[in-house]
Every structure is written in structure tokens, then in C-alpha cells.
A and B are shown apart, each in its own frame.
Chain A
Amino acid sequence: MANPSSNPSGLGKSVRRLEDARFITGNGRYTDDINRAGQTHAVFVRSPHAHATIKSIDLAAAKKSPGVRAILTGKELAADKIGGLICGWAIFNKDGSPMSAGAHPALAVEKVRYVGDHVAVVIADTINQAKDAAELVMVDYDVHKAAINVADTQKAGQPQVHAEAANNTCYQWHLGDKAATDTAFAAGAHVTKIDLVNNRLIPNAMEPRAAIGEYDKGTQGYTLHTTSQNPHVARLVMSAFLGIAPEHKLRVIAPDVGGGFGSKIFIYAEEVVCTWASKKVGRPVKWTCDRTEAFLCDAHGRDHVTTAEAAMDANGKVIAVRVKTIANLGAYLSTFASSVPTYLYAPLLSGQYDIPAIYCEVDGVYTNTAPVDAYRGAGRPEATFVVERLMEVAARQLKKDPAAFRVQNFITTFPHQTPVIMAYDVGDYPASMTKALEMADYANFEKRREASAKTGKLRGIGFSAYIEACGIAPSKAVGSLGAGVGLWESAEIRVNPVGTVEVLTGSHSHGQGHETTFAQLVSHKLGVPIETVSIVHGDTDKVQMGMGTYGSRSGAVGMSAISVALDKVIKKATTVAAACMEVPVEQVDFEDGSFSARGTNKKMAFGEVALQAYVAHKFDSAVIEPGLKEGAFYDPKNFTFPSGVHIAEVEIDPQTGVTKVERWTAVDDFGTIVNPMIVEGQVHGGIAQGIGQAMLEGASYNEAGQLVTASFMDDCMPRADDLPSFDVGMTTTPCPSNPLGIKGCGEAGAIAAPPALINAITNALGHENIAMPATPQAVWRAAQSSPRRIAAE
């Protein structure tokens, strides 16, 4: 194997990205950049009401509008026996009964259940014709009261979102040992109890979703170009559950995709309808989301209301945690919605801490709001917010240093079985804390606080020691928890006769830089220049099968599949080389891209062996099969457990309520790092999203169910001048459960940041009474009762 230190493109090097060339010159190819011959344009007629019965739809005027080819509703969809959108994870109630899920048709039938719900699609020759005609579709609604508030929706007298789900309750689920937890609480010397709201977020990838459906009469097959993080999953769902077409007659292509953050995992109504409609109109059908539609209809994230308690013994050791959460699922179950507040949430409630007893109850509830599903971190940011707010508040109540209190409770021996499913394999939590304290200059914080106080400012510092479960996931394990799919990943390595290498991967890159990092792995293992490697992804006709990119799984699972396939290539190439060099295969070594026969001067470069594998003149093809192509399906053995410590330091101006993030220190343990530059970039972006959640962003519906934050003017996306530069450091304990030792890094920042920032703001204020987002207005109000401010005056 190549020595990484001698290979400038090998593992551990900050190789500049290969994919950049097209993106910095305007040559990227996103779905909306693609136009198909003869294409028509789709515009969706959406519900302006949060909850209403459709009495009638009058299409007469719209159909006469110029350029209109078709107007389709749920009636036509049902007549063609197209199934409803599915949720791929079955959750069971405490009593073992299955969750109560309402139907989710791609185009509404009888009722609409949130503002933006899909009522009809207008297909016309130009986009403006489609928009003009959509204005003429007359829908007569019987408008009902809407259930909007997550905390109220289960109460008596609330409007019912689905007849199937009594009291708007989809499931009442739990995890952990209730009796053991209650016993520990009864014995505890101190109990810390907090109430939390994890604010609802809108993902807002910069590329709005888009889809082009196309039907080929000749082959009777469909092609869908779409903005997807997992095109194979989209094909599987559209084939097996919606019945659009069998898989071999449905090609799904996800070309360059402009960010996902979870929101492009899911199978949405628009891509289903465009594909189905392309056959009906006999033309390609293109739809591009505008930003307000994205706000209304992309699956949102978070939206929990939680009560959490921790019990400590007399020494300050945490002995139990008890959590009750109501999680908003929105109006319909999106593709993985049910799993996010359950199996992606409660198993993380042990954090980095040795906690003997944990019990968590989660009610998943319906409201007349957009569907809620996985958003960067998916369940883990919610869990980390609970654990790290609890730890901070407990430390304050016990008058202990928050860092020392955490260290006192850290898990220090591995493997460690938590009371909530997870078996942590490896980590060194004190190492990250020590490094973070040093980088943040914690020792001198009080001096900085005094300096701020002299200028009338309130300075605070906050910690977040997070853990996450990535590399999802062992298929059998998730199957036993209700997942409808396996979560392996596939790879195929095609070595061409000239020695160039194509890697077909089931992972999908929408900003993560796979074209570079995956090529680094190939360069490292085969000793070939990185420029001779191409990464192929996002096309179901090229890559046979794959599970896609989410949950920080592409390094730990996707690259592991590539690594296993590369080992097979090396093994096969070694047999070819041995035959060509006329030595026994055991005598052949492979290093730095070269095969050599031990004890002789015989050598063959990798490229020569590739050529010989295809020429097939120098070996017996009855013994060695010609060609050099290998594949692998890699199923992870365990979750991976990235962890780290983030420290936020803020300065609040109590006159204006403006919170300035003065310093941000992140020390993360992601296991083996393939490309530090790319990993740090992932951390930066994650922190920005976490800071956004904690002090800027928050989806807000009014009582009628209108989304009042439906544009970039109303929902505050982090801008450059809202954020500081970040101080990022690493510690490393390689993951023992996969061949490369990778844990994953994509979500860490978004998971760690919100509690760190709120802990810093509450530390500055001297009280706990502030919710996310801590906007200037909220902070100004909270500063009025700040004991630190009052003491200063």
C-alpha cells in the first residue's frame, strides 16, 4: 500500500477539490440548468389554507389559457392508481401497537392539511403560461380551524388533522428503563429540571428543489432528473410503493445538487407528479421550486417541546436522566419523519456521560403545518440540546465549574454500553475538553468578562460536549428498530485498460467533496495519480444501487465500501501480475502503485497490469477471468460516534440586545481524517447552521396556519456579518468498526453549536430564561432581568 506521507494526494492531505473547476467557472450542472427537447413547465396550485375541505375545483377558465397542455388533480392520480407518499420507518407505541399514520397523497384528495399542500398541477408550454393558468384555477374550500401549536395539538377540542390519528397523536413511544430511572430519581441528592423548546427550522439549501420528468415512448421508460441526496431510494420508493414504473423502467438522475442538509433525502410530491405527468402530456415536464414554495413545502426540521430532568448524587455524579418530548411531525409523515424524534434522538441522551438510568417518552404529533423530517443532525441536535443544557444548568445549580462537572461525568472506559441502545466503541472525551479549554483560553475568561463589564457589556462562555451516532447504519440493527431499508453502501471500481479508474458509488455529493476525498482513497490504495480517478454518482443507470448521503455516512460507510472493493481489485490485479511475471502469487508485493516479485528484479506498474488484465494474453483465462472490475456492498458493523467539545464566547450589549459571538472553539474527534481542509469546512458550515438556530432562525406559523417566515426577508439566514471566524482543532481516536477508522463530520457543528451558544448567552445574562432563537429583541428583554446587568448598574 502507498505510504500516505509520500503521496501528495493521499489520505490526510488537504488536497484542493477537483470538483471546484466547474463550480467556480459557472460550469456546474444543476437540475434547473438542464432543459430537455420539447419540455413543458409545471406550476403547482397550492392550498392557501392550513386546513380545509376541497368542495370543488373549477378548471374551465384555466384550461382555456394559452399554452396549457394539462391540468391534473388528485382524482387523475388516484384513477391511475398512483400510491401515496410513504414513511419508511415504522414506530410502535408503548403498548406495542403500530403508529397511526394518515394517508399522504401526492395531490390532495378531499382535504388540504397545510398551507402549500398540493391541489393541482398546471402544465403549459412556458413557465409564464403555466403561472398565468394556475391563477385561473378556482378551488372552492370549506375552511376549518387548524391545529398549529405542537404543545396544544393533542388537547381535547383541537381540530383533527387525520381521522386515523386520534388526538393528533401519531405515536406515543418510549425508550429506556422507567422503573430504574424513577428509583434513581427518588434516591438523588439533587434534581435539575428544565423546559425546552427546540425551534422549528427551514433547511434552505441554496439550490431550490427541481425536477424534470420524461417518458420515452420507445422504451416505455421514465427518466427523472431531480435534486436528490439519494436517487436510488427515490427510485425504489417511486417504483415499489407509488407504482410509477418498475425500477428497470425508471432512471433517476441527481446531477450537481446545491446543498441538501437532509431536505433533499425525501421523496416529494412534485418529483412524483412530474414523472407521472410526463407520460400523460407526452412531453418532458419541468418544475423548479421558487423560494417561497421551498419555505412552505420543503420538509422542516426540529420543532420539539421538552421537559428534561437530571438526578445527581451527593458528589455531583449524574445518576439518571428523564425526558418527555412532544415532537411535531407536521401534516403528513415525510419519508423518514417518524425515526427522527425517536431512534435518532433518544439513543443520544446519554451524551458523553456515564449515566446508569435513562428514560425517554416521545409523542409524535400531527399539526396543520409542513411535514417535519431530518435536518442536519436529525434528532441528535435535539438530544444534545437537552443533555448539554441539563449539564450546564446542573453545574450552575451545584456551583461547579461547567467544564469540571462534565469531566467528572465523562465516560472514560470503552466499549461503553449506554442504557439507551448505543454501545460506544471508542473516544477520549477528556482529551477534547483539555484541548478546547486551552484553545479557548478559558483560564483568562474572567479577565475578559471584567473588561467587557467595564464597557457595559455582558460577556458569557458556554460549553457543549456532544456525541452523535453516524455512519448509519448496521442494516439488521436498524431493521429490528423499524427501518424499512438496509443502510449499507455500494461501490464498484472499474479499472480501464490504460489504468485510469472509475469509482461508481451509491453515496451522493452535494457539497461534501466526494470527487476529491474518494479519489484520494483510490490514489492512496492503488498508488495512481488522483487526476486519473473519476467518481461517478447520482445516476441509477450507472450506479446499480446505493443508499445515498445523509447522517454523515459517506465517509464511514460509502468510503468503506470503496475500500473493500479496492482490496478486491488489488487481489485480482496481484493474480494477473503474478501470472505475467511468472511467479507464484504469494511472491508478489504491491506498493506505491507497483507490483514486484520478491527476491527478483521483476516489476510491473499498476497500469501495465490493468492492460494485461484486458489483453488477457499472458494468463490462462480458464483460471483467471479477464478484466479488472470489482464491487462491494459494505454493511457497517456499528454506528460511529464522533464527539467533541465546542466553546462559545459571547458579548451582549444590554442596551440593544445584540449578541456578538466573540470566539468559537471547536475540538472534534472524527476518527481518521481523509482531507482536513474539507473536514474543517464541514465543521464551519455546521457551526453556522447551529448559530443560526440558536440566535437567528425560526419558522413561525400564525394561528391560522400561515407561515409568516416564508422568505429570506422574514426568516433570518446567517449572513457573513452575523458570524465570527472559527477556531477548529482535532483530536483523534480512530473508529474500530470500519476499515478506514472514519467516524464522520458532516453534522457535528450543527449538533454542538446551539447549546454552546445558549449556555454562553445564559452565562452572560446570569439567568436561564431565554429560548431559541435568541434574537436581539429576546436578548434585550432577557437582559432587563439579568442579575449581572443589574449588579453592574
Chain B
Amino acid sequence: MTKVSMTVNGQAVSEMIEPRTLLVEFLREHLQLTGTHVGCDTSQCGACVVHVDGRAIKACTALAVSCEGSTVLTIEGLGQPGDLHPMQAAFHEHHALQCGYCTPGMIMTSVDIVNRKGHKLDEHTIREELEGNICRCTGYHNIVKAVAAGAAAMAKPRA
């Protein structure tokens, strides 16, 4: 067992874990942050995307110990009912989710796209940038619309 410490959603956490513990296991099993999902074993589907030190990563492919001292943001920390992040609100408004399983990773990736590419995103850019996130329900049609709307909304100060 080894000790790992990091800041998750603004809170300092410190736990004893097996060294082989993945970041997604640490979040789900140790911190009960079950909004981050596991959809594959091969870093393809993106259901596990979280932000580590401001960058989107796939939490199924990072060891928790490799995030020692890092700042981690998960879907739970992005926004909660009554205080939604503009991207969460856009997914709701544009019906960009059905079963909801890919949604947390999809939203975390979308916020990262805006952080890297700015607030004016065309359809082609959004579709290319979503390559690492798989959704089986929506056909992406409404996700693309939501990301464009969420990106524009993120330019305004959050209420």
C-alpha cells in the first residue's frame, strides 16, 4: 500500500492505496465519485475523462499515484443541480444525452475542447475533437449542437 494525496474538486484528499490502483478506481471506489465511468479497457471510449491539472485525460489509463499532488476535476466538481456549468446546461437544453453513461466524459472532453480551441467552434472541429469519446445512443447529432452552444455560453461569465 502506498499513500497518495491530491486535490479533487477543490478538496484535499489523502488515501492509502494499492500502487496498481488506477485514477478512475481511486475516484470511484475510494472517493465514491461514481460520475466518472468505465466504458472500455483500451482508452477508446472516453467515459472516464476527467481534468488533471487543467487538461483532459482518460482516468482508466492513469495510475492514481501518477497524479500525486495534482488538481483533479470530475463531473461532480464541474457543476451540480442549481449551479450547472454552461456545458452541462447545454447538454440538457439540446438533448445531447440519452442513457447518460457516456455523458460525464463527453461533457469533460467538451469543456477541454473549449479550453483549447476557444468559444467559436464549427461542426467539423467539434466532430474531429470528439473522436476519443464514444456515444451509442445519440448519433452525436445533438452532442455537436450542445458543444457549440456550450462553447459560446462559456464565453459569458458564469451566473
Chain A residues near B (Cβ < 8 Å): 14, 16-17, 19-30, 32-33, 35, 128, 204-208, 256-259, 261, 290-292, 510-513, 677-678, 680-682, 684-689, 711-713, 717-721, 723, 725-726, 749
Judge whether A291 and B100 touch: CB under 8 Å. no
Judge whether B101 and A207 touch: CB under 8 Å. yes
Shortest CB distance B122–A (Å): 12
Partner pick for B40 among A35, A712, A726, CB 8 A cutoff: A712
Shortest CB distance A98–B (Å): 36
Within 8 A of A (CB), among B73-116: 74-76, 78-81, 84, 88, 91-93, 95, 97-104, 107
Q: 11 other contacts beyond A26-B76, A205-B99, with CB at 8 A cut-off?
A: A26-B74, A26-B75, A27-B76, A27-B81, A511-B100, A681-B95, A684-B139, A688-B140, A689-B139, A720-B128, A720-B131
Known: A16-B95, A291-B41, A713-B44. A684 touches B101 (CB 8 A): no
Q: A717 to B46: give the CA distance in the assembly, Å.
A: 13
The 0/1 profile, CB within 8 Å of A marked 1, for residues 120-148 of chain B is 00010011101101111111111110000
Task: Count A-B pairs with CB separation below 8 Å.
Answer: 183
List of A residues within 8 angstroms of B68 by Cβ: none
Residue of A with least CB distance to B141 = A684
Known: A259-B98, A261-B136. A24 touches B103 (CB 8 A): yes
Judge whether A681 and B18 touch: CB under 8 Å. no
Partner pick for B99 among A29, A207, A677, A720, CB 8 A cutoff: A207
Judge whether B144 and A678 touch: CB under 8 Å. no
Judge whether A16 and B131 touch: CB under 8 Å. no
Judge whether B34 and A24 touch: CB under 8 Å. no
Chain B residues near A (Cβ < 8 Å): 18, 20, 28-29, 33-42, 44-45, 47, 74-76, 78-81, 84, 88, 91-93, 95, 97-104, 107, 123, 126-128, 130-131, 133-144
Judge whether A206 and B134 touch: CB under 8 Å. yes
Judge whether B101 and A25 touch: CB under 8 Å. no
Judge whether B126 and A720 touch: CB under 8 Å. yes
Judge whether B20 and A206 touch: CB under 8 Å. no
Judge whether B98 and A512 touch: CB under 8 Å. yes
Shortest CB distance B129–A (Å): 8
Judge whether A684 and B142 touch: CB under 8 Å. yes
List of B residues within 8 angstroms of A513 by Cβ: 98
Shortest CB distance B19–A (Å): 11
Known: A25-B79, A712-B134. A19 touches B144 (CB 8 A): no
Judge whether A24 and B99 touch: CB under 8 Å. no
Q: A266 to B134: give the CA distance in the assembly, Å.
A: 24
List of B residues within 8 angstroms of A749 by Cβ: 139
Judge whether B20 and A128 touch: CB under 8 Å. yes
Partner pick for B136 among A256, A257, A687, A717, CB 8 A cutoff: A717
Judge whether B137 and A685 touch: CB under 8 Å. yes
List of B residues within 8 angstroms of A711 by Cβ: 40-42, 44
List of B residues within 8 angstroms of A688 by Cβ: 138-140
Partner pick for A24 among B18, B40, B88, B135, CB 8 A cutoff: B88
Known: A24-B88, A688-B140, A721-B128. A510 touches B99 (CB 8 A): yes
Q: A513 to B92: give the CA distance in the assembly, Å.
A: 12
Q: A259 to B139: give the CA distance in the assembly, Å.
A: 13
List of A residues within 8 angstroms of B134 by Cβ: 206, 712, 717, 719
Partner pick for B35 among A19, A26, A717, CB 8 A cutoff: A26
List of A residues within 8 angstroms of B133 by Cβ: 720
Q: A21 to B80: give the CA distance in the assembly, Å.
A: 8
List of B residues within 8 angstroms of A33 by Cβ: 28, 34
Known: A128-B18, A206-B134, A720-B130. A687 touches B88 (CB 8 A): no
Known: A207-B37, A261-B136, A513-B98. A726 touches B91 (CB 8 A): no
Residue of A with least CB distance to B134 = A717
Known: A725-B144, A726-B141. A17 touches B92 (CB 8 A): yes
Residue of B with least CB distance to A16 = B92
Judge whether B136 and A259 touch: CB under 8 Å. yes
Shortest CB distance A287–B (Å): 14
Judge whether A24 and B41 touch: CB under 8 Å. no
Q: A725 to B139: give the CA distance in the assembly, Å.
A: 9
Q: A290 to B143: give the CA distance in the assembly, Å.
A: 26
Residue of B with least CB distance to A24 = B88
Q: A270 to B93: give the CA distance in the assembly, Å.
A: 38
5 A–B contacts from the bound complex (CB under 8 Å) = A24-B92, A25-B35, A27-B76, A33-B34, A685-B139
Residue of B with least CB distance to A204 = B136
List of B residues within 8 angstroms of A17 by Cβ: 92, 95
Q: A547 to B14: give the CA distance in the assembly, Å.
A: 47
Partner pick for B33 among A14, A23, A26, A128, CB 8 A cutoff: A26
Residue of B with least CB distance to A25 = B80
- Tell which of B92, B104, B141 has the most Cβ of chain A within 10 Å: B141
Q: A689 to B137: give the CA distance in the assembly, Å.
A: 9
Shortest CB distance B152–A (Å): 18
Q: A341 to B13: give the CA distance in the assembly, Å.
A: 54
Q: A725 to B123: give the CA distance in the assembly, Å.
A: 9
Q: A723 to B136: give the CA distance in the assembly, Å.
A: 12
Q: A28 to B127: give the CA distance in the assembly, Å.
A: 26
Judge whether A291 and B104 touch: CB under 8 Å. no
Known: A291-B42, A711-B44. A259 touches B137 (CB 8 A): yes
Known: A20-B91, A21-B81, A206-B101. A720 touches B41 (CB 8 A): no
